[in-house]
Amino acid sequence: MLSVRNLNTYYGRAHILGDVALDVSAGEVAALLGRNGAGKSTMLKSVAGWIRPRSGEIVFDGRRIERMPMWRIARAGLGYVPEDRRIFTDLSVMENLDVGRRRGGWSPERVFALFPNLAEACDRPAGQISGGEQQMLAIARCLVGNPVCILMDEPSEGLAPVIVDQLAAAILELKSTGVSVLLSEQSWRLASAVADRAYVIEKGRIRFSGTLAELAADEIARTRYLAV
């Protein structure tokens, strides 16, 4: 579904990502774990087309996309939920969904079934709902674009544990429908609840690649790179 090879991304002269490689299979949740500043957000932005990598290869659904503009990547079926959510706070919840909506299986009614809180707040301005509901809205707005793979950047940041558990349930539901997810996270709680595969990034390099079970058993890697 998604394959990244030898990806190098720079900010000016600063070499942020160095020869990064990872894979996400169809219907799989892969977690990209690391501390603040490790390169997680830069990785997702590079794949989504927000930042153009200096070199390397990104193949999505059989197509090279590393030189495509962001809108074409989105049209190809790769969704992106940014860390800062970027919802339209002056628009209602429903209007936010209408902005991102494309024909396909993910209707507003279907995302409301996934996130019942949003159904109750559908006519409220997005700036007046809770932080957890705003995160749900950011994911829901991505879904109504009908992606087959979603990049989620730090979705649990700043959220209460009960909301993180709701997000975990939603991600598992997406997985059951065949949607692939690449999840950038610091939260071991969320990653361990949903991910099949894990990559640990530190200083822009992948330091661990394996299953979640293998990472859970690797105390040295978790302590050195994740402090868990």
| 225 token code pair | 């790179």
Name residue, tokens 């501390």: 35
H or E segment to which residue 152 belongs: strand 149-153
Name residue, tokens 């209460």: 160
Question: Which pLDDT value is given to residue 104?
Answer: 77
Decide: pTM greater than 0.85: yes
CA distance linking residue 32 with residue 176, whole number of Å: 20
What's the pLDDT tens digit per position in 41-87?
999 999 999 999 999 999 999 999 999 999 999 999 999 999 888 88
Show the domains of the chain with their CATH numbers: 2-226 (3.40.50.300)
Question: Which pLDDT value is given to residue 228?
Answer: 59
CA distance linking residue 92 with residue 211, whole number of Å: 40
Question: Which pLDDT value is given to residue 8?
Answer: 97
Q: How many CB atoms lie within 10 A of CB 216?
A: 16
| 226 token code pair | 């994740």
H or E segment to which residue 178 belongs: none
Cα angle: 117, vertex 147, 144; to 5 degrees = 40
Query: Residue 81 has what DSSP assignment?
Result: E
Asked if 51 and 45 touch (Cβ cutoff 8 Å), the reply is: yes
Going by their DSSP bridges, the two strands 180-185 and 149-153 should be labelled as parallel
153 CA to centre of own chain: 4
141 CA to centre of own chain: 13
Residues of the chain with pLDDT under 70: 228
Question: Which pLDDT value is given to residue 188?
Answer: 86
Per DSSP, the residues of 87-131 read --TTSBHHHHHHHH--SSS--HHHHHHH-HHHHHTTTSBGGGS-H
CA distance linking residue 125 with residue 48, whole number of Å: 28
